[in-house]
Amino acid sequence: MATAAVIDFGSFSSLSGAERVQSRLGPRIELGKFVDAGCDGCSAEFEGIVGSSPALRAVLDQVRIVASTGAAVLIGGETGTGKELIARAIHVHSERRNRPFVKVNCASIPAELLESELFGHEKGSFTGAVAQRIGRFEAADGGTLFLDEIGDMPLHLQTKLLRVLQEQEFERVGGSRTLKVDVRIVAATNRDLKGMVEENKFRADLYYRLAVFPMTVPPLRERREDIALLTRYFVQKHAKRMGRDIESIPAHAMDALTNYDWPGNIRELQNVIERSVVLSSGPELHVALPEINGRSTPIVLHGRASNVTELSERARILQVLKETKGMVGGPDGAASRLGLKRTTLQSRMRKHNIARLFQ
């Protein structure tokens, strides 16, 4: 009886890309030290960023170029590609590394509260303001403020943000005293801001202030060389947390992981690997392949992908919501299965008039 090929997590040594492919032809290849010299350097220099593909290396080269300049950076890319990790890397490699790195998700905070969140408020400035509160700009003084999902910021707040970028000053909500700050802005979005400018949904002057140094984080399907490294990284991370001792993965499962297009990118891969670790009771990783194979023609739910229609996106969201019985959040909710943030999925549900169907 033939033995299925197995990849061993215990000794996956530094093979070249071609050697890895050829090694899969044998019954077993080594995984534990699957770290090229280049990837090893990336791991040491950029904490939490895993990979050695040319596409990732190009992004990290951009980080090295811009980090020390203090220029505003706009990071584009699909949901789940690791834009926050890139923003943090820019901060860590800048002269502000010993000052705060403060993050704000513009999509997760209600529009009526976002102004107070960013600029703070004075006591009594509105109902419920029982004490003075400093905002994220003050908290980030001397450091870096990361504005995630900047494309979801309301237009009226875009005007106030532009002023802070230009003058480095603002007033708290309900206050009259002008406060000065020294903050570097790094923003991120999975939306087409240029298209939004053309549609008058995003201020052109703010866009050019933010995009002094624009960069794009590639989707996982454009850096397939990194999937094995990321798989190993997530297996070790979750196995350690769950007290599991996982040493190997079937070669056919690794091939399936590598060949899948990952519409949810790294976040989706992490979700699949975490679920796989939960399902694995022995030393071999039991990969949740039905979850992948059930979507042989994945639908990209990010950005403005030209090959994806609005109708197909709506249909995919509806399908997954039915599978989860309307559950959006949680480890097995629709957002997790689609590789989206909960707030991003809720925004898409409102866009497609789906939200009311699951209330």
Would the pLDDT of 101 be above 70? Answer: yes
* Domain containing residue 130: CATH number: 3.40.50.300
16 within some domain: yes
Alpha-carbon distances of 35 from 40, 42, 130, 284, 287, rounded to whole Å? 6, 10, 54, 21, 22
Concatenated DSSP letters of 296-321: SSPPP-STT-TT--HHHHHHHHHHHH
Would the pLDDT of 11 be above 90? Answer: no
The residue out of 216, 235, 255 marking a domain boundary is 216
30 within some domain: yes
pLDDT at 291: 54
pLDDT at 70: 95
177 within some domain: yes
Split into its structural domains, the chain has a count of 3
The residue out of 199, 216, 233 marking a domain boundary is 216
Are 204 and 65 in a shared domain? yes
Q: Which of 236, 265, 240, 210 is nearest to 85 (CA)?
A: 265
pTM of the model: 0.73
Give the position of tokens 């070669």. 251
Q: How far apart are CA 197 and CA 345, in angstroms?
A: 23
Q: Which of 2, 7, 3 is nearest to 28 (CA)?
A: 7
User: Domain containing 250: what range?
Assistant: 1-44+223-287
Are 260 and 155 in a shared domain? no
The residue out of 216, 241, 274 marking a domain boundary is 216
300 within some domain: no
Are 197 and 63 in a shared domain? yes
Are 31 and 170 in a shared domain? no
Are 70 and 202 in a shared domain? yes
Are 144 and 202 in a shared domain? yes
Are 231 and 209 in a shared domain? no
Instruction: Tell me the pLDDT of the chain averaged across its residues.
Output: 82
Are 201 and 327 in a shared domain? no
Give the start-end residues of each E strand in the chain: 6-8, 28-30, 73-76, 101-105, 144-148, 169-171, 178-180, 184-189, 213-216, 248-250
Are 89 and 206 in a shared domain? yes
pLDDT in tens, 49-72: 999 999 999 999 999 999 999 999
Are 210 and 229 in a shared domain? no
295 within some domain: no
Are 201 and 279 in a shared domain? no
Least confident of 3-7, 64-68, 257-261: 3-7
Residue 26: how many CB atoms within 10 A of its CB? 9
Strand, helix or coil at 44?
helix
Would the pLDDT of 40 be above 50? Answer: no
* Domain containing residue 241: CATH number: 1.10.8.60
Are 87 and 208 in a shared domain? yes
301 within some domain: no
Q: Give the torsion sign (CA, 277, 279, 284, 285).
A: negative
Q: Which residues contact 322 (CB under 8 A, 6 or more apart)?
A: none
